[in-house]
Structure 1
Amino acid sequence: MKRQQTLAGTGTLLLFMLRRDRITVPVWMLSIILLVLATLASFESLYPTEEARQDMAATMLNPAAIALTGPGFYLEDYTIGAMISHQMIGMTGIATGLMSIILVIRHTRKEEETGRVELVRASVTGRHAHTTAALLLVLGVNVVLALLLALGMGGMGIDSVTWEGSFLFAASLASVGIVFASIAIVLAQLTEHARGATGLGVGILVAAYGLRAAGDIGNGSLSWLSPIGWAQQTSAYVDNMWSPLLLSAGLSVLLVAIAYPLSSRRDVGAGMVRPRRGRSEASKALTSPIGLAFRLQRTNLLVWSFAMLLIGMSYGSFIGEAENMMDAMDDALNNMLPETGNALFADSIAGMFMTVTAIIASIPALQTVLRLRTEEKEGRIDMLLSGAVSRTRLLGSYFILAFIYCVALMFMAGLGMGIAGSQSMNDSGYLPDLIIAGLNFVPALWVGIGLAAALIGWFPRAAASSWLITIYSFIAVYLGGILQLPEWMMRLSPFHFVPRLPADAFEWPPLLGLTAVALLLAIAGWSGFRQRDLNG
C-alpha cells in the first residue's frame, strides 16, 4: 500500500509528459533515425567495393580519426556494417545521451524549480510519481527509437547489415540514452537548479566521450569506464557481442536505486547539495547587469573553462602519436598522402582536434547568451528593467560576457592542447602555436552567439533553434569528408571558414568576415529586443 501511495498518479503524469513533448520527442527521434539511415545509404553508394572500403579503413588508422569515431577493431574487415558502427555509434550515442538528459531534467528538476511539482503534489500524487513517470518516458522513448532504427537499418537489404547487428546497434544507442537518463535522475536529486543538473549531465557526457577516445587511442582500459565505450565494444555487425550492454543495464539499475532514497530524504524544490550561503551584503559587481550576469553563470563558466583545459590536454597528448602512426601506415596510405611529412601530419591532426574542441566550446558559449531568454521567460527581467537598467545595457551585458567567454574557452583549450602537445612532440614551439590555433576559432563561436542574439531579439520563442548551428557544424566536421558533402553544405557551418592552424597558414580575411557577420547578427538582435514586448 505504501508503495502504491508513493507512485500514485504516475500514469496520469506520464500521459501529461507525453502531451507536452508531442513535438520535441518525435523531432529528436526522427533526427537520429534519419541521420543514421542517410549515412548508411551514403556509405553503400560511396564505397560499393571491398577495395574502396579497405582504402577508407586505411585512412582511419590515425589518432585523430580513431578519437573521432571508434576503436580500431572495426577496421580489420571494413564492411558497410562495420563502417556504420565504427563511425556512428559514438556520435549518435552523444545525441541519445543528450536527449535523455534534457528530457529527464525538464520533467523533474525543472518542474520543481518552477514550483509546479509542489502544486501537483498537493493533490493525490505520490512522492516518486514525477521521477518514475520521467524515467518511464525516457525509457520508452529510447526503446521505441531502438526498434524503429533497427527495423529501418535491417530493412535496407544491405548484405553486411544483418538483422542481429541492426538490433544490437540500436540497443547500444538505447543503452547510452538509458544510462544518461539514470545519471540525470541522480543529478536532479543533488542539485537545486535545472541548469546546474543539465550542465553537470552534459559535462559527464563529454567526459564519457573523452574517456572513450583516450581509451581507443592509448590505454584501452579507459574505454571500459565510459557508457559510450561499452556501446562501441558490442562490435555490432562484426562480432555482435551483447555482453557489454549488461554493464549499462547494471549501472542504470544502480543509479536509479540511489536516486529514489535521495528523493525521499530531501524537501520538494531543494537539492541534497545545498547552495553555499551568500554574503550578507551584495558586492558592488552585482549592481551592474554584467556583474549580475556573471554571478548567475559563474559556476558554469568556471567548470566549462576547466573542462576545456582537460579536453585540450587529452587531445594534445595524442598529437605525438601521429609520427608513430605515420610510420605504421601501409604503402597505400602513404601514396594517398605523398606530400605529408611527419610534422605536417601531426599539424593536421592538431587542427582537426582543435576544430572539434571549438565545436564543443560552442555549447557553454551559447548557454551564456541564452540565459537571458531563460531569465525573461521566468519573469525576472521585468524587475530589472523597471529600474534604471535599459534594455541596451542589459542585452549588451550578456553579449559582452558571451564574447569574452569564447576567448577564455578557446584560450584554455589551446593552452591545454599546447602543454600536452608540446610534451608529446618534444617541441616547445607547439605551445604558442596551439594557443593561437585555439583563439583562431573565436570568431566562429561569435557567429553562433550572434545568431542566438538575433533570434532572442526577433523570434524569442525560436531562440533554442540556435543550437542547430552547433549540431550541424559537428555533423559537417564529423561526416563531411566521409559523406563527401558538397561545398555549399560545408559552407553553412562557420567553422568551415576558419584556417586549421598549425597545418594551414593564418589568414585574416575569413576571421574578419566571421566577426562582421557576428556583429551584424548581434546588432539585429539588439534592434529587435528594443522594440518587442517581453515574454514574446
Structure 2
Amino acid sequence: MNALAGTGQLLKLGLRRSRIMLAVWVYALVAYLASTAYGFKKLYDTPASLRDFVSGINGNGATVAMYGRIHVAGSVGGITAWRMAATGGALVGVMSVLLVVRHTRGDEEAGRLELVGAGAVGRRAPLTAGLLVGVVANLALALVSTIALIAFGLPVAGSLATGLAWTVPGLCFTAVAGVTAQLAETAQAARGIALAVVGVAYLLRAVGDAGRVSWLTWLSPIGWAQQVRPYGAERWWVIGLGVVVAVAVVFAAYALVERRDLGAGLLPARPGPADAAPYLRSPLALAWRLHRGALLGWLAGFVVYGAAIGAVLRGLGDLLKNSSGAADLLAKMGGQRGLEDSYVGTVMGVLGLIAAAYAVQVVLRMRTEETAQRLEPLLATRVRRLRWSVGHLLFAAAGPVVLLGVAGLAAGLAHGLRTHDLGTQVPRLLGAAVVQAPAAWVAAAIAVLLFGAAPRLAPAAWGVLGVFLLLGQLGPVLKLGQAVMDLSPFTHVPKLPGAELTATPILALTAVAVAVTAAGLAGLRRRDIG
C-alpha cells in the first residue's frame, strides 16, 4: 500500500474537526497584529516621536530581551513587525503544536487512528495529514495578516514579509510537534515536550538579543522571524531557511514513525508501582498527580515573565516620554496615577488572562478524563462526581493565585533591587498581580458550566477567554463602549497599584464565579457520563 494513501481524506477530516479552533487562533492573532499596527500609527505619527521610541527600545536591555531589537526604525510597519515577531512567533508556535499533536498523538491515544488504520490508510498518512493541518493554519495566518496590513496602507512587500515571517517559527514548530508525537506515548507529554522547545527557542532569542552572544538568536526559529526585517531590506532568504529546517525535521519525524508500534512512543514509558502510595488514595491526590507537571511549568514561565516586567519598569519613563498618546493609552488600560502604575496595571491584566488560561486548562482536563474513559471506572468506586470534581477545581482556584503571586513577587524583587526599594515594590507589585485572580476564576467557572451542562461545547471556553483578551487589547484602542468592555471580568478588576483597592468588585467577581461553578456542578450531577 502507498504509505501516503488516505492523506487527503484525513486532511479534510482534520480541517473540519479543527475549523473552530483554527479560526479562533487566526482571528485572535490577526486582531492582535491589527491593533498593534493601529496603535503605533496613532501614537507615533511624526518621524521624531518614532525615532525617540526606537532609540528608547534599543537602549533598554530588558525590553530588548522581551521583544527583540528594532532593526527597521523608519516606519510604523517596521516597529509593528518588530513588536509581533517575538511574542507573535511564540504564539504561532503554540498554535502549531496544539493543532499537530491533536491530529497525531491525540487521535492515536483516543483510539481513532487504530480504527482509521484498519482501512486503506498508509503508514505515514496520519502524520502527513496532521502536519498539513499545521501548514494550512500557518499559511492562512500569513495570508490574512498580509491583507490586514495592506488595508492599513502599509507597503505590500513589507506586509507580505511580515505575514510570511510568522510562518518561519510556525512551520518549524509544526515539524517539532510531528517529532514529539512519535517520541511520547501520550498527547500531554508530546505537547509538553514541544512547548518546552518553544520556550527554549524564546529564551535563546532573548539571551541573544540582550547579551553579547548574538549568535544565539540564530539558533531560534523565533529569532529568524525577527531577522526577516520587513519594511526594510527584506531578507527573504531567512524564510527559506525556516522552510529548509522544517522539512529536515519532518523527515526525522517520518523516520521515527517507521520505528514504533501504533499506540506506543519511542521514549519508554516508566512502569509505576503495583500499589499506590498512601498519600495518593484520594481524588485530591489524583488531581495533584495529574496537574503537578503543568503547574510547575506554568510557574517557571510566570517567574520569568514577572522578572522581565520588573526589569523594564525603571526605564519606562524614558521610553515613552516623547509620546503623550502612548501614556494616555496606558492610562486608559491601567489606571491614572502615573505612567509606571498605568503600565503595571496593564501588564498585570495580561498576566491575569494568562493565569485564566491555566485555570481553563485545568477544568478542561476533567473533560479529557471523561472522554478517555478514565472517569467511569473511578466513579464505579465510592468516589462521587462532586468529590472528584472538587479535587480538580481546587487547582483551578488556587493555581491562578499561586501563579500570579510568584509573578508579582518576581516583578517586585526585580524592580525593588534596581531601585533599592524592596520594602515598597514587593508588596505593591504582588498586590497588583494577585488582585487579578477573581477575574480568572470567572473564566474558569464558565468552563465548568460548559463542562457540566453542555460537555461537547466545553472547548468553547477557550473562545470565551479569547473574547476577554480581545476586549482588553482592542477595547481601549477602538474606543469601544463601556457596556461592551464590561462583558470582560478583567474590566472590573481594580487597576492596582494606580487605582484604589475596593472590595466590592473583588467580592462581586468571586460571587459570580461561585454561582456559575455551582450551576456547572449541578449540571454535572444530572447528566450522563461519557
> After superposition, where does 1:257-296 map in structure 2 within 5 Å?
257-296=251-290
Which range is displaced more, 259-268 or 143-152? 143-152
1:195 matches 2:191? no
RMSD: 3.6
Which range is displaced more, 387-396 or 348-357? 348-357
Which range is displaced more, 57-66 or 198-207? 57-66
Q: Taking structure 1 as reference, are residues 508 and 385 closer, same or farther at Cα in structure 2, changes over 3 Å only?
A: same
What is the identity, as a one-letter code, of the residue corresponding to 2:135? L
Q: Is the 8 A contact 1:110 1:193 kept in 2?
A: yes
Q: TM-score, normalised by structure 2?
A: 0.84
What is the identity, as a one-letter code, of the residue corresponding to 2:456? R
Q: Once the 2 structures are TM-superposed, how far is the Cα of residue 152 of structure 1 from its aligned partner?
A: 5.6
1:134 matches 2:130? yes
> After superposition, where does 1:251-262 map in structure 2 within 5 Å?
251-262=245-256
Q: How many Å separate the matches in 2 of 1:103 and 1:375?
A: 20
Match of 1:72 among 65, 70, 73: 70
1:13 matches 2:26? no
Q: Is the 8 A contact 1:210 1:311 kept in 2?
A: no
Q: Is the 8 A contact 2:359 2:399 kept in 1?
A: yes
Q: Once the 2 structures are TM-superposed, how far is the Cα of residue 84 of structure 1 from its aligned partner?
A: 4.2
1:106 matches 2:102? yes
What is the identity, as a one-letter code, of the residue corresponding to 2:436? F
The SS at the match of 2:312 is coil
Q: How many Å separate the matches in 1 of 2:178 and 2:6?
A: 19
Q: Taking structure 1 as reference, are residues 427 and 48 closer, same or farther at Cα in structure 2, changes over 3 Å only?
A: closer
The SS at the match of 1:317 is helix
Q: Taking structure 1 as reference, are residues 459 and 12 closer, same or farther at Cα in structure 2, changes over 3 Å only?
A: closer
Unpaired runs of at least 5, structure 2: 332-336
Query: What's the counterpart of residue 232 of structure 1?
Result: 226
Q: Once the 2 structures are TM-superposed, how far is the Cα of residue 108 of structure 1 from its aligned partner?
A: 0.7
Q: Is the 8 A contact 1:319 1:346 kept in 2?
A: yes
Which range is displaced more, 298-307 or 61-70? 61-70
Q: Taking structure 1 as reference, are residues 416 and 330 closer, same or farther at Cα in structure 2, changes over 3 Å only?
A: closer
The C-alpha deviation readout for 1:304-347, integer Å capped at 9, x for no partner, is 2233223323333333343xxx346665659968xx9xx95444
The C-alpha deviation readout for 1:8-45, integer Å capped at 9, x for no partner, is 443443344344445544554455556656776x569x
Match of 1:368 among 346, 362, 371: 362
Unpaired runs of at least 5, structure 1: none
Q: Is the 8 A contact 2:43 2:325 kept in 1?
A: no
1:183 matches 2:176? yes
Query: What's the counterpart of residue 241 of structure 1?
Result: 235
Q: Once the 2 structures are TM-superposed, how far is the Cα of residue 110 of structure 1 from its aligned partner?
A: 0.8
Q: How many Å separate the matches in 2 of 1:173 and 1:242?
A: 13
Query: What's the counterpart of residue 506 of structure 2?
Result: 511
Q: Once the 2 structures are TM-superposed, how far is the Cα of residue 207 of structure 1 from its aligned partner?
A: 5.5
> After superposition, where does 1:83-482 map in structure 2 within 5 Å?
84-89=80-85, 92-151=88-147, 153-154=149-150, 156=151, 159=153, 161-205=154-198, 208=201, 221=214, 224-322=218-316, 326-327=317-318, 333=324, 345-429=339-423, 430-482=425-477
Q: Once the 2 structures are TM-superposed, how far is the Cα of residue 450 of structure 1 from its aligned partner?
A: 0.9
Q: Taking structure 1 as reference, are residues 446 and 19 closer, same or farther at Cα in structure 2, changes over 3 Å only?
A: closer
Q: How many Å separate the matches in 1 of 2:172 and 2:210?
A: 24
Q: Once the 2 structures are TM-superposed, how far is the Cα of residue 354 of structure 1 from its aligned partner?
A: 3.0
What is the identity, as a one-letter code, of the residue corresponding to 2:95? M
Q: Taking structure 1 as reference, are residues 318 and 190 closer, same or farther at Cα in structure 2, changes over 3 Å only?
A: farther
The SS at the match of 2:233 is coil
Q: How many Å separate the matches in 2 of 1:334 and 1:132?
A: 48
Q: TM-score, normalised by structure 1?
A: 0.83
Q: Is the 8 A contact 1:469 1:493 kept in 2?
A: no
The C-alpha deviation readout for 1:116-146, integer Å capped at 9, x for no partner, is 3234334454332221222233223423443
What is the identity, as a one-letter code, of the residue corresponding to 1:72? I
Q: How many Å separate the matches in 1 of 2:23 and 2:123?
A: 29
Q: Once the 2 structures are TM-superposed, how far is the Cα of residue 290 of structure 1 from its aligned partner?
A: 1.6
What is the identity, as a one-letter code, of the residue corresponding to 1:314? A
Q: Taking structure 1 as reference, are residues 489 and 66 closer, same or farther at Cα in structure 2, changes over 3 Å only?
A: farther
The C-alpha deviation readout for 1:505-531, integer Å capped at 9, x for no partner, is 433222222211111111111121112
Q: How many Å separate the matches in 1 of 2:282 and 2:390?
A: 12
Q: How many Å separate the matches in 2 of 1:499 and 1:71?
A: 33
The C-alpha deviation readout for 1:82-113, integer Å capped at 9, x for no partner, is 45434445555455333322221111101221
Q: How many Å separate the matches in 1 of 2:290 and 2:185?
A: 14
Q: Taking structure 1 as reference, are residues 267 and 447 closer, same or farther at Cα in structure 2, changes over 3 Å only?
A: same
Q: How many Å separate the matches in 2 of 1:463 and 1:477?
A: 23
Q: Taking structure 1 as reference, are residues 129 and 31 closer, same or farther at Cα in structure 2, changes over 3 Å only?
A: same
Q: Is the 8 A contact 1:319 1:425 kept in 2?
A: no
Q: Once the 2 structures are TM-superposed, how far is the Cα of residue 295 of structure 1 from its aligned partner?
A: 1.4
